[in-house]
Structure 1
Amino acid sequence: MIRHIVLFTAKDKAQIDKIIERLSVLTTIPHGRRVEVARNRKTDQIGNDIDVVVYGEFDNEKELAAYKEHPLYQESIRRVRPLRELRFAADYDVSVDARGARHQ
């Protein structure tokens, strides 16, 4: 399984709800086991710069690629890009543990 995590900062903190609303379309795209869009609770004691989190779980690379190629995904990029400052993304295989060992 592949986990897909994207973190956003807003140019204007007053626009965070609008960013969430515009990203929420991602939850309707097929291909993912689970896709969530949420406001960061900002309870970390060291850093709370991130405003919005997108979390997704996909069975494999093919499903993740199909999700990213979907027209609604492309539309969300177009609608959110003007409102966000930074975007960080990470995809990782959960069949690999923290030491890099593969699980069967």
Structure 2
Amino acid sequence: MIRHIVLFSAKDPKDVQTIHEGLSILRGIPDARTLEVVLNEKHDALSDEIDVVVYGEFDDEAALAAYKAHPLYQESIRRVRPLRETRIAVDFTAPGKD
């Protein structure tokens, strides 16, 4: 299983909710086992730069590629890219998982 985590920060704090909404359309893509789009609750006093987190679990690289090829993924990019300051993505195979 591949875990896909993407962290976003907004250029302007007033756009955080719009970014969250633009990323939430990703839930309509059927290729993920799990897909969460959440606001960072910023409980860590030393690091509050990230505003929105996307967390996904995919069966394999093919499922992740299908997710990224879906039209809703492109629409999400169109909505979010102009508003975001930072985008950091991490993909890894979950240890001990299939």
TM-score by length of 2: 0.95
Q: Deviations over 1:10-63 (max 9, x none)?
A: 001011011001111101101100111010000113211100000000010000
For 1:53 and 1:5, how far apart are their aligned partners in 2? Answer: 7
* Percentage identity across paired residues of the two chains: 60
| Match of residue 79 from structure 1 | 79
* Partner in structure 2 of residue 46 of structure 1: 46
Pairwise CA distance, 1:95: 2.9
Name 2:21's counterpart in structure 1: 21
Aligned AA for 1:52? Answer: V
How many angstroms apart in 1 are the aligned matches of 2:79 and 2:15? 12
**What is the distance in 1 between the residues matched to 2:59 and 2:88?**
22
RCO greater where, 1 or 2, for CA within 8 Å and sep 6 or more?
2
Where does residue 35 of structure 2 map in the other structure?
35
TM superposition outliers: structure 1 runs of 4+ over 3 Å:
none
Quote the Cα distance in structure 2 between the aligned partners of 1:46 and 1:11.
20
* Structure with greater helix share of residues: 2
TM-score, structure 1 normalization: 0.89
Q: Which protein is bigger by CA-based radius of gyration?
A: 1
